[in-house]
Structure 1
């Protein structure tokens, strides 16, 4: 009973945090940002067998590009955490994280896919696609066996890509595969494969928003983190050949789900948007076993001395991990010190609040994508996260 209760508590906490980036689907907004759902019924057929956890067909939302953006594509993979057992996944069969039946009929496209030229000058008239998450494997699972929980994330991804290619993406001149949280991890893992789908495009690049989950093997819970991703891999049947061989040849294949171990193996240019103090990772990714941790990540004033030290240590580990890859010029990096998980869906996250190197996230990503300027900025001023005054944060010290 205690285990079941804890499973439910963990699930709801994870879902609450991981869906922060898509909470604005219920926000009243301009009509051009409310996009109707596309249910991909054809993907259910045996030839593809691409279905959500509950067996329902996958879904996405597509707003067509126009003008000089008609042949440009900006895809976003929704996040929502992972599940690692039938029991763990069962609670997702009756909500949007495991079934298209519960997806909203339309979604609000966040700032990174806004059709407002002022808010989103570089990408406002592109084809904008929001891919609904319903497999809980970062779009990587591939289990043939059908049970009450169907694990087919990789097939879901492939089926949606096939449909978009047929609808014009095959003619893309410029394309971005992005995602948030578990979707951000999915964007990294599928980055090179996505690029291979578009051999004639001028530019193909990828963006991960709050998807850089770290092993931090010298910090508390490292073994549990490694075990957790091993369980994700085993339960969802993630195939070895879907991971970079240059990674799987030098370490346990399950560790190749961790971005720090594959980042140098990704050939396609990648931009990483992170906070040095990610709420999800600190609260629910085994950096602390204390029951009061959730309160701490919501109000730093109630944190214990040991929790504050854990936060500091995590911030150092995350920044050091990203610092180590900063010599890879094709990688863009934007790391600020505010407590957060997800950036693209709020105006304050995409083009308003955070300024590093005199640029917002939108400006940094745009300059990087169009090769106007490289961008690798990590804030080092703050050893603890900023809760207040983050709406106008400006870094004064960075790499």
Structure 2
């Protein structure tokens, strides 16, 4: 399948002194495993503020596709073993874009947050509980999240202690990580009640692909559902039944059963999904047939957003640029793309700050034309 990308700068450097810097330290998680059985891990960077224990926490779930069969898992391991094993992970990551920026002028809400980067090595959209499957791989994404939270509550060498009774947490992630935030949000809230979510580019649709597509999303989720032993929300599972529980992988069906506050960042022409739908990754949308399909995709995206019922649920917010791109929260798009909400132009950083403060945000581009949103990379 087409990979989902979370572009980061990885640095193998000597551990710097603490203060305002972009460096995250690796904490390995005993009892939670990557696909190949090596220990899973998180990267942590404490707040640079004077009272770090009082600052918000950002839990970012890395994205990057998945695998759902022996052939797709073997191909994934061959192409990027770091997505399935921690054996060669760096001890330090350098991350300083978007929500991770420590520039309080451009990122005032999150510049002094305690940041935790959940490295993705389970290849399951952060929903699996399967250890030692017949394929020879484990899929423990949901277990990794639970284990990491337990570790942060018990304490690490460099981070303040996560307090279930007072710590405020933003659970977010890109693509597969955004879906993981959606899948796990209500369960995380059971342990950390002051948790909200930003679901970045997590909006998978149940619509037919273009005629030239390969393995389509719905087929992928059916196969993943039967492999990963997913930790699916029980209310969603009861609604669709065991045989069709795979529907709970798709945002348009799953999100109505998520109770905790969540804001969705939805590209109306999501690049990663359209690339899968048409097997077209060259950015050439001058073909009339492909452009027609892209406009159908946009219409279905907007209809599915409306069907989720944002207007009637104060716990739901949405930020939907008319761009052909994928993921914003950890990129410069966090502060560059603009969408109107009741006549006020908002960046994603603006919208997220309002949502975090308790306001509902409904910002949906209504301009005409492919990639017509303000600030889009088109």
TM-score range, shorter chain: 0.7 to 0.9
Match of 1:243 among 209, 228, 233: 233
Query: 1:272 & 1:133 partners in 2: Cα distance?
Result: 21
Q: Who is 2:138 aligned against?
A: 150
Q: Who is 2:174 aligned against?
A: 180
Q: Who is 2:40 aligned against?
A: 58
Match of 2:330 among 336, 342, 345: 345
Q: Residue 144 of structure 1 aligns to a residue in which SS?
A: coil
Shift of 1:346: 2.1
Shift of 1:193: 0.6
Query: 2:317 & 2:374 partners in 1: Cα distance?
Result: 27
Query: 1:141 & 1:110 partners in 2: Cα distance?
Result: 29
Query: What are the ranges of 5 or more consecutive residues in structure 2 without an aligned counterpart?
Result: 14-18, 156-160
Query: 1:368 & 1:389 partners in 2: Cα distance?
Result: 21
Shift of 1:232: 0.8
Q: Who is 2:296 aligned against?
A: 313
Aligned length: 353
TM (normalized to structure 2)?
Answer: 0.85
User: 1:294 aligned to 2:286?
Assistant: no
Match of 1:205 among 190, 196, 208: 196
Query: What are the ranges of 5 or more consecutive residues in structure 1 without an aligned counterpart?
Result: 1-9, 44-49, 394-399
**Residues 60 and 177 (structure 1), Cα distance of their counterparts in 2 relative to 1, 3 Å cut:** same
Query: 1:365 & 1:388 partners in 2: Cα distance?
Result: 18
User: 1:117 aligned to 2:117?
Assistant: no
User: 1:336 aligned to 2:336?
Assistant: no
**Residues 213 and 24 (structure 1), Cα distance of their counterparts in 2 relative to 1, 3 Å cut:** farther
Contact 2:131-2:137 within 8 A present in 1 as well = no
**Residues 369 and 255 (structure 1), Cα distance of their counterparts in 2 relative to 1, 3 Å cut:** same
**Residues 266 and 148 (structure 1), Cα distance of their counterparts in 2 relative to 1, 3 Å cut:** same
**Residues 219 and 320 (structure 1), Cα distance of their counterparts in 2 relative to 1, 3 Å cut:** farther
Contact 1:70-1:125 within 8 A present in 2 as well = no
Query: 2:37 & 2:131 partners in 1: Cα distance?
Result: 12
Please list, as runs of the form range in 1=range in 2, the aligned pairs for 1:53-202 lying within 5 A after superposition: 53-65=35-47, 66-71=49-54, 72-93=56-77, 95-107=81-93, 108-145=95-132, 148-167=136-155, 168-171=161-164, 172-199=166-193
Query: 1:100 & 1:130 partners in 2: Cα distance?
Result: 14
**Residues 218 and 194 (structure 1), Cα distance of their counterparts in 2 relative to 1, 3 Å cut:** same
Please list, as runs of the form range in 1=range in 2, the aligned pairs for 1:30-49 lying within 5 A after superposition: 32-40=21-29, 42-43=30-31
Shift of 1:224: 4.1
Contact 1:248-1:256 within 8 A present in 2 as well = no
Query: 2:28 & 2:137 partners in 1: Cα distance?
Result: 19
Contact 2:129-2:141 within 8 A present in 1 as well = yes
Q: Who is 2:158 aligned against?
A: none
Shift of 1:312: 0.3
**Residues 236 and 263 (structure 1), Cα distance of their counterparts in 2 relative to 1, 3 Å cut:** same
Contact 1:56-1:99 within 8 A present in 2 as well = yes
Contact 2:262-2:316 within 8 A present in 1 as well = yes
Contact 1:244-1:262 within 8 A present in 2 as well = no
Match of 1:215 among 206, 222, 231: 206
**Residues 219 and 248 (structure 1), Cα distance of their counterparts in 2 relative to 1, 3 Å cut:** farther
**Residues 106 and 305 (structure 1), Cα distance of their counterparts in 2 relative to 1, 3 Å cut:** same
Q: Residue 101 of structure 1 aligns to a residue in which SS?
A: coil
Query: Could you report, residue by residue, the CA deviation over 1:95-125 in whole angstroms, capped at 9, with x for unpaired residues?
Result: 2211112333322143202222112111221
Contact 1:24-1:110 within 8 A present in 2 as well = no
Contact 1:214-1:260 within 8 A present in 2 as well = yes
TM (normalized to structure 1)?
Answer: 0.81
Q: Residue 163 of structure 2 aligns to a residue in which SS?
A: helix
Contact 1:339-1:387 within 8 A present in 2 as well = no
Q: Who is 1:3 aligned against?
A: none
